Structure 1
């Protein structure tokens, strides 16, 4: 009878990257015609929007949350960009299991028109799964020095920030035709528009699956 030496457990070593945050961005260089139309629609609606307000921003007017309900091909085009972003994010998080996600997608959106010096304080959108922004117009030339109008996504790890172990905010230039999307819980802010510049216009939006998002049942909400 022979005996077998017990297996020696080999030490393991690994580096794990935990708490990753998915962020989506895509540029649409063919967006010029849509952007011209969207700019006209947004500025015309602002004049008649009684609910438009300087809420959470400085020299920035937020419209009513019904822009995704407007009946226009350019709005439908923006909705298709939002749907593409949501699909990409869902696949990034769930992998093959994303095919099993069956709830209806609900969404709301609003225009934001930033005047000279306009900015938006740090905030998050806790009542949704995904949030994002589509840039319609920016008076600052692409690639200009500084960070006027930049979107900043803040590190969601406050302890890392306080210990200076954070790489800092992730920044996105507000390039017309660019869409950026991220989890609704991620704190973000918008840097000031350059003083003396023209209007900077964007469409912000929230998306959720119907089982988790009830507020969009109001007339302000819509389905994609």
Structure 2
């Protein structure tokens, strides 16, 4: 079965891409470096003290900081703006001119994931969310070997896979400053990072819509 890979050197703009007839957003955000340094320090410090930190669904990794969107810091404000940019772009790709009617009632949640060497994430979906995404703060070192640490988006069509009519896996390289977003129902996972590849830090997020709410919460 073949696959498609988006590497760190791909020509990627802030635009939706087609993936099994569903939209996919990939953007290497300009100016992300200065914010990533602050985000990294905040995440590392607060993960250690978060009483609700867990390893649910992950291997050799820690999920924490479910209150990150409420942190008062310019880097977090910038990150929330990037979520809205991804959501607005994807919604416009699906609804066209009607997109403005739904992007005002956005409910967003986010959490951090710190992967140790060999860390991975099991295949899953976020079925109760309209959109899901991941932002890479620190990527570690894949060492140029295979797809270690890559985000893997899986074809949701069982019949297509059974008939070998699918590319099977769409892989995205974890690059600092890269935002990836997709429908919440799309199955995805994270390939294990390399032993000796160092730490990797990302922020995962979900978005749903609430007609009775204006703005992000």
- Class of the TM-score when normalised by the shorter of the 2 chains: 0.7 to 0.9
Change (3 A) 1:104 1:193: same
What is the Cα deviation at residue 212 of structure 1? 10
Question: Could you tell me whether the CA contact under 8 Å between 2:46 and 2:65 is conserved in 1?
Answer: no
Q: Any residues of structure 2 matched to 1:178-197 within 5 Å, and which?
A: 178-197=178-197
CA distance in 1: counterparts of 2:32 and 2:104, whole angstroms: 30
3-state DSSP of counterpart to 1:197:
coil
Say yes or no: does 1:168 pair with 2:161.
no
Please report the TM-score for the alignment, with normalisation by the length of structure 1. 0.83
RMSD after superposition: 2.2
Say yes or no: does 1:125 pair with 2:126.
yes
Q: Any residues of structure 2 matched to 1:21-100 within 5 Å, and which?
A: 21-100=22-101
3-state DSSP of counterpart to 1:23:
strand
What is the Cα deviation at residue 100 of structure 1? 2.7
What is the Cα deviation at residue 29 of structure 1? 4.2
What is the Cα deviation at residue 126 of structure 1? 1.1
Identify unmatched segments of 5+ residues in structure 1: 1-16, 214-221
Identify unmatched segments of 5+ residues in structure 2: 1-17
Question: Could you tell me whether the CA contact under 8 Å between 1:128 and 1:212 is conserved in 2?
Answer: no
Point out 4+ residue stretches in structure 1 off by more than 2 angstroms: 99-103
- Deviations, residues 180-203 of structure 1 (Å, cap 9, x unaligned): 000001100001111122110000
Greater percentage in strand: 2
CA distance in 2: counterparts of 1:149 and 1:102, whole angstroms: 32
- Deviations, residues 197-219 of structure 1 (Å, cap 9, x unaligned): 21100000001101599xxxxxx
